[in-house]
Chains A and B, each alone.
Chain A
């Protein structure tokens, strides 16, 4: 920010500096926002406007910020009130210029508030050129809001060249649709290959689940979601955050406010800071009196490629593929990244120190050796000095010739037998150092001081070396220098290290100040501040309102003596132990610091303590929250009645609760060695594997399904479970967990209930058939009567003189047919009377209905009805028990018949309809034209023992309901619109998997 402002001043500042300071400080600018303070863009723009205005010389107190909040307060009355407020507020303060954010504010100024700020120029930021300029006397400059979808799409392709599909995510509000429409239109002009798809019509939760499993080669382009397709409203940045967190593909966007915490990778974006600065630049021109010539000036925005560093790294994007001029935000703040230079610096420092020590040591030794060697022999001296890396030279002041050792020749790159003079040395010395070497030597000679000079030489190898030369002047007589004698050694490495260190120190200082962590040091006596970084001073300024200074001690810095003493204890401990780390809750208890204290020593003398403090409140809170939630879940699953088990992706049991262990009968240490397949009977393996592959791995969880476990003692028992997929932070499959319920008890009860139901159904069936005795008797008597009459007629025909054998043959045929008829009737009745276990099979429902209607059609009550059948002949087969379904139809038909007869004689009509329902069910409707169902009894119809009939047991409908329920169908009763009632039940189609 600071550097941005500097840049701004450098580039744009010239105008403002031309103005007299006094003119500017009196200028008043109103910054009028259309909407509420919470608009994310406003925060950035306001900061930019404020910074740039002040930098241009305006007085902070003359900037007025107003938030009209028009979106939440539509309506004329509100705007009238606003005008009154502004009129009051700015009566004594003449505004020179207005910056209006969003078009609504502009329109407000031009229409409603025309007379409040008459003629004041307006700069409309984030505006549109679609507005009505109803106040042409007033100059208006528009900085329109704009997006560049095509440039963003090209950036996506550059970063992610394998993109085959670009998915648009937007919301369903008018604004959302308008933006998306704009984006779509722009994309039509995009010549690149990827397919573009919009998933904006989905509800948000579906969008989220959709973006979580996109195929590779997909990128997302997010515009806005103010409301999703269900009409639920959102903040677009919140939705962006959700989508970025969920999506398995990179998300790009067109708004700056989506960057950063909201997680988009980036895009070619309107930079609000730049817009703010543009506005100020124009504003300054206007305030100088340079008014726009036209009533409306439109200045389109230059868009900036902006990307988020973290997101680029998350998706492995190459920064070099970014468009030129890209701004990369949010460079990382990891410990290594943040302190890389500190660590390097320290290492370099240690290295340098050891080198210096070595050099010093060597030089000292070399000096001794040289003196001794001179006294003893030049050869030995040469050998010794050469082995130490130093060359010796002796210059004869009179002749100007120089004697050197072989080592020195090597250092300077002279030929072995070359004759040397002083000038020859000057030839190899770096031209830039000529002067300093000359001066130095000259000075030494004049003052008769030892020579000590550092300089660069150009080595014949082409590289530059640093040489240090030290020497003494020897005289035969006072004032008459005879020889200059000395040693030279190569210090290139040391010089380089020094340069690097100095560079590192500069960087270190910058970094120490740029971190929000706190770094400081105190002296070892009274623990007064020695040094501190900006992090610490800002902390004290913001939290405590104290401007800290060097020398302040804990007694001054901390609010209570108790806390001051605490800090003294910390410092003392650091002095004793050298270094330690601790967590420290600050005085107010609201924040936690992680402190790292180090004893500071120089030359073996302890002089203070350095402290590094990092605010880890958020981390602590999330750790605490995590621990709490883990505990909560642990206690929850431990106390659950149902079993809980966690397995890895190979099915090996990792964790389980006590209920699970108890259920399986294993000891706690035996289970972790097993897989869930080990304790599941073989016959379930295939079907369970399918559930895992098709449900758990696909959508993260399974339906509730039933299977069996084999306990340790070999008992097989039924269980019911639902499995869930566990993912780690990176989204990889980490395991599966399941809630498992032992349903032996329920199965037992279910089976008993089924038996009871069967018994009851049988009893009611028998009793219903009992009621039908006369009808059934008729059904059998009919063929019997025919048989008897036929037989007797035949007898007579036979006793005639010439019996008609053809007639007799026909008679016998009829007899056989009638006999079969009687047998069939008996078979059907017996099947209804028989007590059978429920037997499900694939059935034609039409046949089932037809058959039972035939059995009962001769009942007196039924026979006198007119029965209409409307069968759907295309009805698929249903899955059910023939006898039970017939019992239901029997009950319903008899009920209908009885209710009609009870209501008196008349033309009674019964309609039996079969049809399809919802594609999954067949429906049977039995409709009468009787009195209908009394509203008072409607709710109780299906209750057991509830009857409106004098002789009824009240079980018919209750049994019918149970039967239909066990078929997974439904039964209900309704009154027809005209007259009478209808009883309707459904039975599922045979879907082929019921068995």
Chain B
């Protein structure tokens, strides 16, 4: 995944609004791409880019939550900024529940929107970075042998080598060799490092009892 120039995706059924938002983004040097409906956006195949989605909540054929679900399934990590002309509390609550990063009420000041857009782009970048870390970690974990993975689960539970050897019915020395290999493969300096990585990768420690 390459770090590209961020793109602001705009979904609004009002052509005039779409055009004005595109212009606003262009005026601050952001690339903008607009769609008349969420469905059209989904169909376009966009979303791998760094950027954000500015979405009018009035979506006749697709609710916010549904869109979120579909975007997840399509691996689209774009943060969503909801904009609405309604501006009533129930609608903003529904919007946030649907996973909005920000909620703006029309008509909005450009600063508010631009700040939200930048924030979203940052968030997008962070998300993309996190995702990249995680993928590297998972790749490293996949290099461990099954035995090593077993030992790994005991180590991060803070169980001493002697007891691991008892449980696995092997020699303490063998466990030591495994631990060293794991530390090396994972690029960890300490057990604390290993624990953090395990957490990130969602690996659960073996039960101590």
Comparing A145-153, A195-203, A584-592, A783-791, the segment that makes contact with chain B is A783-791
How near does chain B come to A901, taking the closest CB pair, in angstroms?
A: 13
Q: Does B199 contact A (CB under 8 A)?
A: no
Q: Which applies to chain B's interface (DSSP): helix, strand, loop or mixed?
A: mixed
A808-842: contact bitstring with B at CB < 8 Å (1 yes, 0 no)?
00010010011001000000000000000000000
* Size of A's binding interface in residues, CB under 8 A: 34
**Of B17, B23, B28, B58, which contacts A785 at CB under 8 A?**
B17
A869-904: contact bitstring with B at CB < 8 Å (1 yes, 0 no)?
000000000000000000000000000000000000
Q: Give Cα A775 to B26, complex, Å.
A: 30
Q: Give Cα A860 to B86, complex, Å.
A: 9
A771-811: contact bitstring with B at CB < 8 Å (1 yes, 0 no)?
00111011111111111111011101100000000010001
Nearest opposing residue in chain A for B94, CB measure: A860
Whether B87 pairs with A774 at a CB distance below 8 angstroms is: yes
Q: Does A734 contact B (CB under 8 A)?
A: no
Nearest opposing residue in chain A for B87, CB measure: A777
| B60, B106, B113, most chain A CB atoms within 10 A | B106
Q: Give Cα A664 to B17, complex, Å.
A: 70
Residues of A within 8 A of B58 (CB): 778, 858, 860, 863
Q: Give Cα A796 to B20, complex, Å.
A: 13
How near does chain B come to A247, taking the closest CB pair, in angstroms?
A: 72
Whether B85 pairs with A785 at a CB distance below 8 angstroms is: yes
**Of A788, A821, A866, which contacts B107 at CB under 8 A?**
A788
Whether B20 pairs with A789 at a CB distance below 8 angstroms is: yes
Residues of A within 8 A of B26 (CB): 793
Whether B86 pairs with A785 at a CB distance below 8 angstroms is: no
Q: Give Cα A796 to B24, complex, Å.
A: 8
Whether B23 pairs with A784 at a CB distance below 8 angstroms is: no
Q: Does B14 contact A (CB under 8 A)?
A: yes
Contact A783-B16, Cβ < 8 Å, known A777-B87, A788-B110: yes
Q: Does B38 contact A (CB under 8 A)?
A: no
How near does chain B come to A957, taking the closest CB pair, in angstroms?
A: 26
Whether A774 pairs with B91 at a CB distance below 8 angstroms is: yes
Whether B86 pairs with A778 at a CB distance below 8 angstroms is: yes
Q: Does A974 contact B (CB under 8 A)?
A: no
How near does chain A come to B14, taking the closest CB pair, in angstroms?
A: 5
Q: Does A464 contact B (CB under 8 A)?
A: no
Whether A793 pairs with B85 at a CB distance below 8 angstroms is: no
Contact A789-B86, Cβ < 8 Å, known A774-B91, A863-B60: no
Contact A814-B28, Cβ < 8 Å, known A781-B87, A782-B106: no
Q: Give Cα A773 to B106, complex, Å.
A: 14
Q: Does A938 contact B (CB under 8 A)?
A: no
Q: Does A864 contact B (CB under 8 A)?
A: yes
Whether A866 pairs with B60 at a CB distance below 8 angstroms is: yes
Q: Does B19 contact A (CB under 8 A)?
A: yes
Q: Does B84 contact A (CB under 8 A)?
A: yes
Residues of A within 8 A of B20 (CB): 785-790, 793, 811, 814
B13-45: contact bitstring with A at CB < 8 Å (1 yes, 0 no)?
010110111011011100000000000000000
B residues 54-109 in Cβ contact with A at 8 Å: 58, 60, 83-88, 91, 105-109
Nearest opposing residue in chain A for B14, CB measure: A782
Contact A781-B60, Cβ < 8 Å, known A789-B23, A789-B110, A814-B16: no
Q: Give Cα A807 to B20, complex, Å.
A: 11
How near does chain B come to A154, taking the closest CB pair, in angstroms?
A: 84
Contact A793-B107, Cβ < 8 Å, known A781-B85, A781-B87, A863-B58: no
How near does chain B come to A908, taking the closest CB pair, in angstroms?
A: 10
Residues of B within 8 A of A797 (CB): 23, 27
How near does chain A come to B80, taking the closest CB pair, in angstroms?
A: 18
Whether A789 pairs with B24 at a CB distance below 8 angstroms is: yes
How near does chain B come to A151, taking the closest CB pair, in angstroms?
A: 85
Whether A782 pairs with B85 at a CB distance below 8 angstroms is: yes
16 contacts between A and B (CB under 8 A): A774-B87, A777-B86, A781-B107, A783-B16, A785-B20, A787-B107, A788-B20, A788-B108, A792-B24, A792-B27, A793-B26, A796-B24, A796-B28, A860-B58, A860-B91, A865-B60
Please name the 10 residue pairs, one residue from A and one from B, whose CB atoms are nearest each other, closest first: A778-B85, A781-B85, A785-B106, A796-B27, A789-B20, A793-B23, A785-B107, A784-B107, A781-B106, A792-B110
